[in-house]
Amino acid sequence: MSYSSWRNFLRGASIQRDIQEIRGLVVRYIKEETIQPIKELGRFVAYGTLGSLFVGFGTTLMLIGALRFLQEQFPVLDGSLSWLPYVIVAVLACLVVALTAWRIMSGTAKRRLKVTK
């Protein structure tokens, strides 16, 4: 191969084209393997947070409703026993929290613990 053909080879479009292809491949790989999963995770977290807020708000309203029900329907809980509906609703709230924690731990968290052991 002569000097001019080497010079044409080194200056030629093939190396520049290869470098551009490699750069394009790297950029595409980064987008597919990092940016897209982060977008999907963000969507998952957003919907999970919104759902949790709605469930928490609904549970709070139901507990307040239970308190008002106890206060209105049982006049025996007036006067010196007026604290009793609050205790009943607090115990009910603790049961809701315990049930929620139990369901979380018996679901995917339990399966994950089995996999890691």
Tens-digit pLDDT profile for residues 15-43: 778 888 899 999 888 888 888 888 888 88
Q: How far is CA 113 from the centre of its chain?
A: 19
Full-model pTM:
0.61
Neighbours of 59 (CB within 10 A): 14
pLDDT of residue 60: 96
Tens digits of residue pLDDT in 45-99: 999 999 999 999 999 999 999 999 999 999 888 889 999 999 999 999 999 999 9
Residues contacting 74, CB < 8 A, separation 6+: 85
Sole residue written with tokens 């919907």 = 47
pLDDT of residue 105: 87
Residue 13 above 80 pLDDT?
A: no
